[in-house]
Amino acid sequence: MAIKAATINVMTLSRDQYLAQIADESARLLATDPATLGHGIPHIEGWTVGDVVGHTGWVARYVTLMQTATPDDPPSRSLIPNPPAGSDVLGWAADAVQSLNDALEASDPDTMRPSFAGAVPASWWVRRMAHELSMHRWDIDAATGTAGPINSAISVDGIDEIFEVFVPIRMRFETLAASGETMHLHSTEEDEGAGEWTATLLADSVEWEHSHSKGDVAVRGTASDLLLMMWSRIPASRLEVFGDASIIDRWQEAAAF
User: What pLDDT is attached to residue 2?
Assistant: 35
CATH number for the domain whose boundaries are 15-143? 1.20.120.450
Region of 66 on the Ramachandran plot (φ > 0 left; ψ -120 to 50 alpha; else beta): alpha
CB 89 within 8 Å of CB 53: yes
DSSP 3-state of 200:
strand
Read off the pLDDT of each residue in 209-231 and give the average, rounded to a whole number.
97
CATH 1.20.120.450 domain extents, the chain? 15-143
d(CA 159, CA 231): 9
CB 138 within 8 A of CB 162: no
Over range 190-214, report the average pLDDT.
Answer: 95
pLDDT recorded at residue 63: 98
Query: What does the H/E/C string look like for 23-72?
Result: HHHHHHHHCCCHHHCCCECCCCCCCEHHHHHHHHHHHHHHHHHHCCCECC
Cβ–Cβ under 8 Å, residues 229 and 250: no
pLDDT of residue 257: 74
Q: What is the pLDDT of residues 84-105, one digit of tens each?
A: 999 999 999 999 999 999 999 9
pTM reported for the whole predicted model: 0.94
pLDDT band at 256 (very low <50, low <70, confident <90, very high): confident
- Domain(s) labelled CATH 3.30.1050.10 in the chain stretch across 152-254
Asked: is 152-254 a CATH 3.30.1050.10 domain? The reply is: yes
Q: Evaluate if residue 11 carries a pLDDT over 70.
A: no
